[in-house]
Every structure is written in C-alpha cells, then in structure tokens.
Amino acid sequence: MQNPQLSIDQLLQEAAQALNAQRLEDARNLLQQVLELDASHFDALHILGVLAFQKGSPAEAEDFIRRALAVDDGFAEAHYNLGKVLRERGRLKEAAEAYQKAVRINDRLDPAWFNLGLVELEWGHHPQAVDAFRRAAEIDPTDPDYPFNLGNALSTLGDVKEARRQFERTVFLDPSYAHAWNNLGIMLRECGEIKEAMDAYQRALDINPQFADAHFNLGNLYEAQGNAEQALVSYQQAVKANPRFAKAYNNLANIYYLQMEMDRARETYETVLEIDPANHTARHMMDALRGATTQAAPAEYVSRLFDKAAPEFEERLVLSLKYQSPKELRQMLDALVPEEKVFDCAVDLGCGTGLSGEAFKSRTRRLVGVDLSARMLQKAREKKIYDALHEGGLVEFLDQSQEKFDLYLAADVLVYIGDLDPLFQAARKRATGSAWFLFSVERVDETDFALRPTGRYAHSRSYIESIADKHGFTCMAIEETVVRMERDEPIPGYNVVTRLKETD
C-alpha cells in the first residue's frame, strides 16, 4: 500500500536500496508506488521493464520499456534493454534497430555494440558482427566475452591468424575460459601448431573435464596424427559427456572401422542415425559396410571428409598412402601429346589442395579448380597456381559454367562417384573439340562399379571404356597402377587418358 508520507524521490531511494540488497519484489512494489504518483515516470518505467525481463516476463518488460521511451526517447540504455527484450522474443530485426539506436545516442555503450554483434552473427552477417564486436572490445578491453565472440566471427570469415589473436586475448583476460581454450586449439591446428593445439584442448579439459567439444576436437587431432587409440579414448569421452553428440559417434564408428571392428562400427553408425536420421555420412558408411552399392557418395560426406582432412592432407596422402596419381597422369599425357602443346583452359575436378594443379600447371594457360571442400580450396588458394577456384559439386559446376575446357583432370576423385554417366555427360557439354579427360580410379573386375567398405567406389575397365565411348571419348591409354596404400596393402587401380573424338 502506498505510504502518502513518502515522496517520489524517497520511494526511488528505497527502491535503489532494495535493488542493491537483491530484494527485487520490494523494489518492484516501491517502483509501482512511484507510478501511482507519476504514471509517466521514466526511471520507474524503465527499471520495472528491466526487472520484468529478469523475472522472465518479456512481454511485460517490452511494455514498460516502450512506455519509458515514449517519455524520453534519448536514453541509450533503454534502447539497449529494449533490444535485449526483443531478441529474447525472437524479433531480431527490431532488436538490431534498438541496439543501433542505442549506439547512435551513445557510441561508447559497449554492451549495445556487443549485442548488436550477436544479432548480426545469428543472421550470418559476419563482417558486420566483426565490426560490432571490435567496437565493443575497443571500448572495454577488459571483458573476455568481446574478443571471444570477435574471434568466432573472424574464424567464420577464414581469418585464422586474427581469430587466434582474439582467443589468445580472451584466455589472457580469463584463463578459466574453457570455450576460448577450445577455439584457440582449433585455430592453432589450422596454423599447423599441433602440439600447441593439443595443449589448448587439454587446458579446456582441465577446466571442464565434461567438455564434449574439446574431447571431440582432441580426438580429431589424434586421428589426423594416426593415433587411433588416443582418438578412440577422446571420442568415447565426448559421447559420455554428450550422449546426443552425433558427430562424435560418427568419428568413433570410423575408428572402429579402422581397427577392423566392423560389428562395433555398424552399431555405432546405427546410433548416429538414431540421433540424426539425416546424417548422410553415417548412411553412406552403413551402405558401404552392408555392400549396398549406391550411385555416388553424398556431397555432405565428401565435403566433411576433406574439410576434416585438410590440415594434414598432403602429408598423409603423399607420405603415408604413397599417392602418385597426378605425377603418373602427367607422364601419360606427356607421352601422348607433344610438349609444346599448351592447353588453353584446364579444369581440375576435385582439385583438393592442388596436387594435380601443381603437376599440370606448366601445360595450361588457364587452370580452374573446383572442389566440395572449402578448407581444401583454402589450401589450394594459398599455392597461387589456379586462375579461379570454385566450391561445389563437379556436375553442378560444369552445368553452370560458361567456359569451355580442353583438358579435364580428376585424380583420386572418381572414387567418390559410382555412376560416371552424369559427369561424362556434363564434361562433354563443356568440352572443346578433341578435349582430353584424365582420371584415376580404383579397380574392380566383376561389375561396372562397386561401393567398397572403405566408402570409396571401384570401377571396371570395361565400364570405363563403355562410358567414355558413350559420350564420345576414346581411351587413349589405360595403365594399371597402385592408387594408394591401405593398411600397408596396395589398392589396385587404373590411370586413364581419354580424348574426345569430335571437333567443334
């Protein structure tokens, strides 16, 4: 009940004391008494809005704060608090407008810049998020959340070095920030600093032993180093900490597969599909283990496989798997085409990190690369050997391209495609007269193509010859080769050189 002996100033003073003592209900009652004396009192309306938001009543909070702003539209903190309420209510556009108005009124209001950055991040506007987070961090360089979120936005934009600096800044400000240690580990791995990355993941786990993502990332690192035993332990810890962690189960299944524990691999892939029925990676491997041949590996499977492999890809492929296809295909082409012949426009299908591009660059005037893996393309971009790089599927790229190609390269790529008809059809449409198509495949004899338990496809010689002939290509040379080593066993395959019969 209102005490008529108390003035508005006295009520506000008592409300402030109640707030400081965390007696929130008393504060609300006192502020309501202020409104009974002055229904348009800005401070009472604004603070009641903040209290309603803290109580979990965003609709009531919005009403109070809007009433306050109707009294005084020039108070930056009120616009900031309105933005928080609107974001909570899922009205991101209005929330962003409220934060923007707050910083127009007071461009030193770092929480408004920070929250504006969060909204931009939710929208996928990463450059705008970077700008907003950077402003917040410049205003208050002591808040670890600011460089942490700035690092997240920068890493999404591919600025690994600057993202790393921001995560380093975060853990300097707050050494107990487990998520920052984890993200710093990701950036360190991207920079090739493996030991430092491992140390960062371990710091995250020292802080929070149940941090599933850190266990998962540590497992990825062990797996990339060929340490399956430690990877297995890390993935098991990840799914123990988060029993709904589909990606960790998927990687755990991969380790069981590598260890030839096929029953456990199948069971674990089944768990992945129970959690995430749309997981194309697990579905593909289940098909491979069951011996069910499909038309092609899902694009999601291929992109994830090579995104994951990108940091150590070349070292593992060349040194561990003894991969020589680009070099061998170049030798076959040199034996068939005079060395003075330079191809006008070549396309490296599934270019990866650029091993084929490096092998064939000297024989091309223009070299284009296409790959499903963004991280592989980044590695290829660093080599500066391609005139253009495109992210996407091979057939989709050829269907949409406006260029004509006189040389196609596909080394260690068709192992992720069973039915080659769509690719040859698309290549034929974009080929110049007498274009060349060079590729490698794994070998199978008893059928046209087969999906193997490895998740890769193998093709027969007769199928290669027939599919090439169907689309106007002549097999100029087919050589048996070892396409890679698998568990110290040679995987037989073919290097193939074809040429288009027709001319434009």
Among candidate residues 234, 268, 290, the one where a domain is terminated = 290
pLDDT tens digits for 175-199? 999 999 999 999 999 898 999 999 9
Residue 72 placed within a domain: no
Print the SS3 string covering 415-448: HHECCCHHHHHHHHHCEEEEEEEEEEEEECCCCC
Span 487-503, pLDDT tens digits: 778 889 999 999 998 65
Does residue 256 form part of some domain? yes
In percent, how much of the chain has pLDDT > 70?
Answer: 95
pLDDT at 420 over 70: yes
Instruction: Tell me: do 246 and 363 sit in the same domain.
Output: no
Q: Are 351 and 491 in the same domain? A: yes
Judge if 285 and 398 occupy the same domain: no
Is 466:441 a contact under the CB 8 Å cutoff? Answer: no
Residues 321 and 427 occupy one common structural domain: yes
Distance, C-alpha 142 to centroid of its chain: 29
**Residues 414 and 480 placed together within one structural domain of the fold:** yes
Q: Are the CB atoms for 358 and 330 separated by under 8 Å?
A: no
Q: Please check whether residue 474 lies inside any domain of the structure.
A: yes
Task: Report pTM.
Answer: 0.76
| 479 and 390 together in one domain | yes
- pLDDT tens, position by position, 280-311: 889 999 999 988 899 999 888 888 877 776 55
For residues 284 and 423, membership in a common domain is answered with no
pLDDT in tens, 76-119: 999 999 999 999 999 999 999 999 999 999 999 999 999 999 99
470 in the same domain as 404: yes
Q: Identify whether 12 is part of a domain.
A: no
What integer best gives the mean pLDDT of the chain?
Answer: 92
Q: Are 219 and 250 in contact (CB under 8 A)?
A: no
Q: Do 314 and 274 sit in the same domain of this protein?
A: no
The CATH number for 237's domain is 1.25.40.10
Residue 317, pLDDT above cutoff 60? no
Q: CA-to-CA distance for 72 and 65, rounded, in angstroms? A: 10
- Least confident window among 7-21, 199-213, 252-266, 313-327: 313-327
**Same domain, yes or no, for 269 and 312?**
no
* Domain membership flag for residue 61: no
Asked if the structure places residue 260 within a domain, the reply is: yes
| pLDDT greater than 80 at residue 144 | yes
Query: Tens of pLDDT along 214-230?
Result: 999 999 999 988 899 99
pLDDT at 1 over 50: no
Q: Which of 290, 317, 335 is the last residue of a domain?
A: 290
Last residue of a domain, one of 264, 290, 316: 290
pLDDT at 126: 94
Which domain, by its residues, includes 427? 304-500
What pLDDT is stored for residue 504 in this prediction?
Answer: 45
| pLDDT digits 0-9 by tens, 153-170 | 999 998 999 999 999 999
Same domain, 357 and 491: yes
469 and 322 in a single domain? The answer is yes
User: First and final CA of the chain: distance in angstroms?
Assistant: 94
